[in-house]
Amino acid sequence: MELKDMPIEMIDTIIRHLFEHDDQWDAPGGENCIYIADARLVCRQWNSLASRHLFHALHLRHEPKWLERWNELMDMDVVKQCTKRVHIDSSPVPFKTRNEFWVIYQKQGVYPAYTDALTRIIDLKNLTAVSFHYTKTCRTHEDLYYEEDVETESTRILNLFHFFHVLKRRMVESPNASPIRSLTIENLQNLILPDLTSTDAFQSVMRELTSLHLVVGEERNSLDSEMMLDLHRPERLGFEPHLRNHWIAPIAGQLTSLTLMFQVCWGVMPAIFDTSDLYFPHLRVLHLGAYGIAYPNQFDWVLRNKGIQTLRLDRCFIGSYFRFNNKLRQQWGIDNTGWVQLPKGSFGFGDDDDDEVFTFNGTWEDVFNSIREELPALTDFRFDYMYIPENEDYETFLRRPDLMKNDKPHAARYSAFDTGWCDGWIANQGPMEFGDNNPSPSAPGPRPRYYNVVHKLSREKETYEEDLRGLEALVAETRKRLYLLE
Asked if residue 270 has a cis previous peptide bond (ω within 30° of 0), the answer is: yes
Residues 6+ apart with CB under 8 A from 400: 22
The per-residue pLDDT for range 82-141, each reduced to its tens digit, is 899 999 988 877 666 666 666 667 666 677 888 899 999 999 999 999 999 888 877 766
* Residue predicted with more confidence, 104 or 186: 186
pLDDT greater than 50 at residue 444: no
Q: Would you say the pTM of this structure is higher than 0.75?
A: yes
The per-residue pLDDT for range 301-342, each reduced to its tens digit, is 999 999 999 999 999 999 999 999 878 888 888 999 999 999
What value does the mean pLDDT of the chain take? 82
pLDDT greater than 90 at residue 354: no
Percent of the chain with pLDDT over 70: 75
- State phi, psi for 61 to the nearest 5 degrees: -95, 145
Question: What are the C-alpha distances in Å from 212 to residues 176, 229, 239, 375?
Answer: 23, 31, 17, 21
Name the pLDDT band for 204 (thresholds 50, 70, 90). very high
Minimal CA–CA distance to 270: which of 188, 344, 330?
A: 330
Which range has the worst mean pLDDT, 25-39, 149-163, 251-265? 25-39
Predicted confidence at residue 363, as pLDDT, reads 96
Q: What single-letter DSSP state applies at residue 387?
A: -
Minimal CA–CA distance to 315: which of 386, 246, 407?
A: 386
Predicted confidence at residue 229, as pLDDT, reads 59
Residues 6+ apart with CB under 8 A from 283: 255, 256, 257, 258, 305, 307, 308
Cα(253)–Cα(282) distance, rounded to whole angstroms? 7
Name the pLDDT band for 30 (thresholds 50, 70, 90). very low
Q: What is the mean pLDDT of residues 56-62?
A: 84
Cα(85)–Cα(99) distance, rounded to whole angstroms? 27
Name the pLDDT band for 383 (thresholds 50, 70, 90). very high
Residues 6+ apart with CB under 8 A from 389: none
Q: Residues 257, 260, 265, CA angle at the centre, nearest 5°?
A: 160
CB 243 within 8 A of CB 197: no
* Residue predicted with more confidence, 66 or 163: 163
Minimal CA–CA distance to 464: which of 431, 418, 420, 417?
A: 431
* Residue predicted with more confidence, 90 or 378: 378
Name the pLDDT band for 388 (thresholds 50, 70, 90). low
Show me where the domains of the chain are located. Answer: 1-54
